[in-house]
Amino acid sequence: MTASASGVPSAETRFLRPQTAQQAVLAELRALIVRGEIPPGSAIVQDALAERFGVSRVPVREALKILEGEGHITYAPHHGYKVAKLEVAELLEVYDLRDVLESYVARVGVPKIDDRHVAKMQAAMQAMDSAADREDMIGVGVQNRIFHFVVFDASGLTRAVRMIRQLWDTTDPYRSLYFVKPLNRETVNAEHSQIFEACVSRDAEAVVGLLEIHRSHAVQDLRAMAEAAQG
């Protein structure tokens, strides 16, 4: 079953064609929520979604159940689904939890970093820079995630990494909402460089400390935004 002259895309260039409708709906809907295009608190109407995606309600409902499990939407029987809305306290809770999980995973992952991991991190840093030059903030976010998850994935702790990924997804809509300003790019780049160097020298504790600082800046911004929004 080799890729013949038919239009079958190669394994590398294949723009992931969802094999089932539920997966397509899931991917698209998750992207919409994470990007903040469906704002937190919005009610989700199954029929409307089904019509929007050109599918019936069944695959939509299954995708919604997954998103509920991921914490992106909330569900109440006979009320339906709403895009999850996090209070500031909850956002901070998520960041604390990230502290715990990412520190653990990084301690396991850093010693396992090999040359390919290093190369991938470098590539992500460069791609992040060029995306920033194009003012492609979405691309920046994507590359930023790739950069950080190289270390996490190296740990091989699939469950923990999956949890971390969900926590990132949870907070992403708020980054899109609040971080309209391109947050201090030089600071981020400098910190990434430091993290990268610590990874190259396989210094797990250094990486853990740098990641903590890195996150604390995000939390600081978050707090400031929240107070500004309240006042």
Partner DNA sequence: GTTCTTTATATCGTATCCAATATGGCGGTT
Partner DNA sequence: AACCGCCATATTGGATACGATATAAAGAAC
Q: Is 186 exposed, middle or buried (0-12, 13-18, 19+ CB in 10 A)?
A: exposed
Q: Which does 104 bind (CB under 5 to 8 A by kind): DNA, a copy of itself, none?
A: a copy of itself
Min dist. Cβ of residue 8 to DNA (A): 12
200 binds a copy of itself per the rule CB under 8 A:
no
Cα(first)–Cα(last) distance of the chain, in Å? 63
Does 35 sit near DNA (CB under 7 A)?
A: no
The single-letter code of the amino acid at 13 is: T
Q: Does 47 bind DNA (CB under 7 A)?
A: yes
Is 74 in contact with 82 (CB distance < 8 Å)?
A: yes
E-only strand ranges, 171-224: none
Binds DNA (CB under 7 A): choice among 3, 14, 20, 37: 20
Q: Per-residue x/- marks for a copy of itself, 164-193, CB under 8 A?
A: ---x--------------------------
47 forms part of the interface with a copy of itself (CB under 8 A)? no
Per DSSP, the three-state class of 102 is helix
47 binds, among a copy of itself, DNA, none (CB under 5 to 8 A by kind): DNA
The interface with DNA within residues 55-74 (CB under 7 A) comprises 55-59, 61-62
How many residues sit close enough to a copy of itself to count as binding (CB under 8 A)? 28
Q: Are 20 and 11 in contact (CB under 8 A)?
A: no
Phi, psi of 77 (to 5 degrees): -50, 130
Q: C-alpha distances in angstroms, 192 versus 33, 111, 114, 140, 214?
A: 27, 18, 18, 13, 9
Sign of CA dihedral 65, 86, 77, 37: negative
Q: How far is the CB of 115 from DNA (least distance, A)?
A: 35
Q: Which two tokens stand for residue 63?
A: 């995708």
Among a copy of itself, DNA, none, partner that 100 touches (CB below 5 to 8 angstroms by kind): a copy of itself
Residues 104-123 that bind a copy of itself (CB under 8 A): 104
**What distance separates the 2 farthest-apart alpha carbons in the chain?**
63
Residue 181: contacted member of DNA, a copy of itself, none (CB under 5 to 8 Å, by partner type): none
> Residue 71 or residue 209: which is nearer to a copy of itself going by CB?
71
Between 53 and 95, name the residue whose CB sits nearer to DNA.
53
What residues line the site for DNA (CB under 7 A)? 19-23, 44-47, 54-59, 61-62, 75, 77-81
